Amino acid sequence: MEEKSVEDIKDMSNKSKQSFLNELMETHAKKVYLLAYAYVKDKGMAEDISQDVFIKCFRYLDGFRGDAAISSWLYRITVNQSKDILRRKKLAQLKYPLKYFEKEQHSESTEQSYIKKNQREQVLQAVMDLPIKYREVLVLFYFYDQKIEEISKTLNEKENTIKTRLARGRDKLKNHPMIQERMI
């Protein structure tokens, strides 16, 4: 999908906004859903949040300032919506369905495939056991390939805070019992 400038977005008619929103949904719907699911751990709620995100996107597209990429803006809306739901429902932790994060399988033996899947599950579970402030930074950095600056804008935190959380999250992962087992 081609990035549009702020001026292009503001000059769009309702029909072209709908077309642009359709492109955004095709490109980012899965990531928005997974990010929401990461927070609320409920498929239905994650779907509702995803719909709300794109409705808000359409409604407030004129207000998009272009301070960050449109994807970062969408992820920030998703994070905020998810946190609102968490506050309301008082949900504590999240789990990711592993199947969404598995990379395409290359031709490898069944044993190699099983070992890699098991290792990914262990690392993923270790990430899920971290406090949310570290978990969200690690997820955005490693699973969503966002840079420190983008994560800072997405979470509305200072870049140094993001760097610190990323470093501390990595340290906590290294000391996690599941990761320690793998190193023995």
Band the pLDDT of 98: cuts 50, 70, 90: very low
The conformational region for residue 10 under phi > 0 = left, psi -120 to 50 = alpha, else beta, is: alpha
Q: Are 31 and 85 in contact (CB under 8 A)?
A: no
Q: Across all residues in the chain, what is the average pLDDT?
A: 78
Strand, coil or helix: what is 167?
helix
User: Which fold does the domain 97-184 belong to in CATH?
Assistant: Arc Repressor Mutant, subunit A (1.10.10)
Sequence spans of domains, the chain: 1-94, 97-184
Strand, coil or helix: what is 175?
coil
Q: In CATH terms, are 1-94 and 97-184 the same topology?
A: no
Question: Which pLDDT belongs to residue 9?
Answer: 57
Distance CA 168, CA 3 (A): 33
pLDDT in tens, 130-144: 888 898 898 888 888
Quick one: CATH architecture of 1-94? Orthogonal Bundle (1.10)
